[in-house]
A and B are shown apart, each in its own frame.
Chain A
Amino acid sequence: MRMRFTALAAAALAAATVLSGCGGSSGTDAGSGGDGGSGKPFKVIAFTSGNQTPIGAWWVKQVQADAKANGWDLTMIQGDFDFQKMNPQVESAIGQGADAIFDGYTDVASISSIVTAAKDSDIPIFAVDAGTEANDAFALNVTSNQQGIADQTVQEISKQLGGLQGKNVMVIGHDPHPGIRMRASLAEAELKKAGANIAGGSIQKVKSPATGRTEALALVSDYLTANPGGLDAVWVGWDDAALGAAQGVSESGSKAIVTGCDASSEAIAAIQSGTSPLVATVEQPWPSVNKTVEDAILAYQKDGTKPSETFDAVDTTLVTKDNAASITPSDKLGS
């Protein structure tokens, strides 16, 4: 019995030795250089909850490639929109020590326990699109300018309709997404200010991004059935739902126009076709945003310098039929 126990303990010790020799968790992509001033590779914990979205998947690959080039010791944690799973993994990685944390597309509201753990360990968090307003959780958070998105799309609707006074515009949003919530609210305010009537009296809310297209389709179809000819335009906070709204407009025989946001392949193709009610979307410059944040991490790695501003909202590009051909779709980044 004692022999067997000893053998078991020896095997466990050997396994532990082998595992510790592997140098980290299964999510670790060991870099080949960089020293952060101490001879050890600069250790970065990157995480995203949105890895199952096209942009999130692109970001994971891009950061992994850049980490290799920068010589970072990268631990990439992919959350699948499951914060109960992701947050403890990130906190556990923080407990093992790191030089910097890199948040991709995960809103600050969902990671308060990570922010606390990072502050306790004095590790700065650098972020891409992790909140629509400045806050002290991040050393830097760069996102797209929501006011700019609202301005560009509302102005395009105004241009195509020859003004907004008295026009009926439906606004479709999705509250759980901070960016969509903010730009929908800004667009609603702008439309009202310009004299447009908000169809249904307020922002129409889609409950789930997974069913955004069918929900938007039903919202528009039902509204147009109840109010034939009752829409001049539909402003939608993201392309997938905008495509559903456009289908609802087409099937109802309405002449209303639709705008979206994201510059997805499908939206760009619809705009280029010239036959879809979808007339415009917005490109958010994620590659340059990501590069800005990575440059900030590199500066911090070099001499501990943190950015002077903790928040930046960068300009976006309105995509219409005129420039659609020159835009890289958001779901084709890196391909």
Chain B
Amino acid sequence: MTATPTRNPGIEDTSAGVLAVPRRSLGQRALSGGTVLALVALVLFFFAMRPDVFLTFTNVRNILYQVSILAIIAVAQTVVMVVGDFDLSVAATSSLSGSVAGALLTAGQSVTVAVLAAVAVGLAIGLVNGLLVAYLNLSAFVATLASMTSIVGAAYLVTQGTTLFNFPAGFTQLGQGRLLNIPMPVYLAVLIALVAWAVLRFTTIGRSWYAIGGNVEVARLSGISVRRSRLLAFTVAGLVAGIGGILLAARLGSSSAVQGSDNLMFSVAAVFLGMTVIRSGAANLGGTVIGVAIIGVMSNGLNILGVNSYVQQVVTGIIIIAAVTLSSLKTRSR
């Protein structure tokens, strides 16, 4: 039996059912809109500081290019966090997938073989994570922390601790090519985000994920196969992270065991920021995209203003704390 929840915490804000929710106070509205307002405020601030640069086509494209791969990894993290879990291995998975693609390409394999193998690696890691969490009942934190450790080791083995490079143009075009003067990773990030959004919003499995994230027991009693759904969420996350890793390798024209390791922290930050956007405080794709945009705008803007990178890191941490605090306040007020 497959049940469709009537009150879905992740999508209720945008559904017709929102009318059933009690009217919110001004403070609650400020909480919900705070993250979006923060993004608008950041854009306005940086535009005011550098009106000649910040909102030019070149710089907006620059921001989109810089966050495109983070956006893909954040989509992977969102899917797992919708289910109420956590995946610490997304960045390591992307590194290993990129390393596998790089190793196969340098060994003379075709781009198709390398890409398919790298995607398969991401899928397999996601499947293993899902089995550990859903069927062996390990905590997602522990399971993905352990798998992350092994995955990083495997990436070192694949790359022999070196940086692999000299990839064929057919591969690097995936990350460096442009269509209508927009880099390919931007299109792919938008496509992946749209597909994930549609799956979460319109399909039974997407609604099942939200139901499980809302309340596992209720979801189980509603007839949802919790184990299978969690397994699928982790598998999808692995697959998407793998695609992100391939694009990162293509974008840089190289792959190494630790490439893109900061994507773990930033993907979690983006999802947390996104959780403050909707009333329920659940992970959601639209919110994640806003979270990614905040991170991208902030990094780019601070670079343009010449702010020290150490200060940038401090500011990023403070914004994450603020977001989590907002999210927590919202959860308490529900």
Same complex origin of A and B? yes
Instruction: Mark interface residues in A84-119 (1 if CB within 8 Å of B CB, else 0).
Output: 000000000000000000000000000000000000
A173 CB → nearest B CB, Å: 11
> A101–B58 Cα gap in the complex (Å)?
55
The answer, yes or no, to whether A222 is at the interface (CB within 8 Å) is yes
Partner of B163, one of A52, A208, A240, A251: A240
Among candidates B50, B58, B299, B308, residue contacting A218 with C-beta atoms closer than 8 Å:
B299
The residue from B163, B252, B306, B313 contacting A264, defined by CB atoms under 8 A apart: B163
Interchain residue pairs A-B with the least CB separation, the first 7: A222-B303, A210-B258, A226-B304, A266-B165, A331-B162, A210-B261, A226-B53
A247 at the binding interface (Cβ < 8 Å): yes
Contact indicator A225/B161 (Cβ below 8 Å): no
Size range of the chain B interface in the assembly = 20 to 34
Q: Are B304 and A210 in contact (CB-based, < 8 A)? A: no
In the assembled complex, the Cα of A306 lies from the Cα of B53 at a distance in Å of: 61
Most chain A beta-carbon contacts within 10 A, residue among B253, B303, B308: B303
**A206 on the interface (CB 8 Å rule)?**
yes
Contacts of A243 in B (CB 8 A): 254
A 117-137 binary contact with B (CB < 8 Å = 1; else 0): 000000000000000000000
A201-B303 contact in complex given A214-B252, A226-B50, A244-B252, C-beta closer than 8 Å: no
- Could you tell me if A208 and B262 are in contact, using CB atoms closer than 8 angstroms? yes
Which residues from chain B contact A247 at a C-beta distance below 8 Å?
252-253
CB distance from A228 to the nearest CB of B (A): 8
Is residue A62 within 8 Å, beta carbon to beta carbon, of the partner chain? no
Q: Check B59 for interface membership: any CB of A closer than 8 A.
A: yes
Digitize A28-68: 1 where CB-to-B-CB distance is under 8 Å, 0 elsewhere: 00000000000000000000000011101100000000000
Instruction: Tally chain A residues at the interface, Cβ within 8 Å.
Output: 35
- Chain B 134-184 residues near chain A, CB threshold 8 A: 156, 160-163, 165-166, 176
**Chain A nearest Cβ from B183, distance in angstroms:** 9
Whether B59 contacts A57 by the Cβ 8 Å rule is no
Q: What is the chain B residue whose CB lies nearest that of A270?
A: B165
A54–B162 Cα gap in the complex (Å)?
6
A205 to B311, CA, bound (A): 11
CA A56 – CA B253 in complex, angstroms? 24
Seen from chain B, the residues whose Cβ lies within 8 Å of a Cβ on chain A are: 50, 53, 56, 58-59, 62, 66, 156, 160-163, 165-166, 176, 252-254, 256-262, 299-300, 303-304, 306, 308-310, 313
Q: Which residue of B lies closest to A215 (CB)?
A: B309
Shortest C-beta distance, B122 to chain A (Å), equals: 20
Complex Cα gap A219–B307 (Å): 11
Say yes or no: B53 contacts A206, CB within 8 Å: no
8 pairs of residues in contact across A and B, judged by CB atoms under 8 Å = A205-B309, A205-B310, A214-B262, A219-B303, A223-B304, A225-B56, A243-B254, A331-B163
**CB of A265, distance to nearest CB on chain B (Å):** 7
Given A218-B66, A225-B59, the answer on whether A207 and B259 have CB atoms closer than 8 Å is no
Bound form: Cα–Cα A219–B90 in Å: 25
On chain A, the residues within 8 Å of B163 by CB distance are 240, 264-266, 331
**Cα distance A221–B65 in the bound complex, in angstroms:** 11
Q: Would you list which residues of chain A between 200 and 217 have a CB under 8 Å from chain B?
A: 200-201, 204-208, 210-211, 213-215, 217
Q: Which single residue of chain A is at the shortest CB-CB distance from B165?
A: A266
Question: 1/0 per residue A264-291: CB within 8 Å of B?
Answer: 1110010000000000000000000000
Known: A264-B163, A265-B163, A266-B163. 7 other contacts (CB 8 A): A53-B161, A54-B162, A208-B262, A225-B53, A225-B56, A226-B53, A243-B254
Complexed CA–CA distance, A269 and B253 (Å)? 13
Known: A226-B53, A240-B163, A266-B165. A213 touches B303 (CB 8 A): no
CB distance from A252 to the nearest CB of B (A): 9
Chain B residue contacts of A226, Cβ below 8 A: 50, 53, 59, 303-304
**Which chain B residue has the least Cβ–Cβ distance from A53?**
B161
Q: How far is the CA of A265 from the CA of B165 in the complex (A)?
A: 9
Chain A 186-207: CB-based contact to B (< 8 A → 1; otherwise 0):
0000000000000011001111
- Considering residues B50, B156, B160, B252, which has the most beta carbons from chain A within 10 angstroms of its beta carbon? B252
Q: Which residues of B contact A54 (CB under 8 A)?
A: 160-162
In whole angstroms, how far apart are the Cα atoms of A219 and B262 in the complex? 16
Bound complex: CA of A315 vs CA of B252, how far in Å? 32
Whether the pair B165, A269 counts as a contact (CB closer than 8 A) is: yes
Given known contacts A205-B309, A211-B262, A213-B254, is B304 in contact with A222 (CB within 8 Å)? yes
Residues of chain A with a CB closer than 8 A to B59's CB: 225-226
Q: Contact between B53 and A205 (Cβ–Cβ < 8 Å)?
A: no
Please determine whether A208 and B162 come into contact, CB atoms closer than 8 angstroms: no
Complex Cα distance, B303 from A162, in Å, reads 29
CB distance from A103 to the nearest CB of B (A): 19
Chain A residues with Cβ below 8 Å from B303 are: 218-219, 222-223, 226
* A331 to B66 alpha-carbon distance, docked (Å): 28
B58 to A266, Cβ gap below 8 A? no
Q: Contact partner of A52 among B161, B254, B260, CB < 8 A?
A: B161
- In the assembled complex, the Cα of A240 lies from the Cα of B257 at a distance in Å of 13
CB distance from A171 to the nearest CB of B (A): 13
Asked whether A221 and B62 contact (CB < 8 A) given A214-B252, A266-B163, the answer is: yes
Residues of chain A within 8 A of B66, CB atoms compared: 218, 221
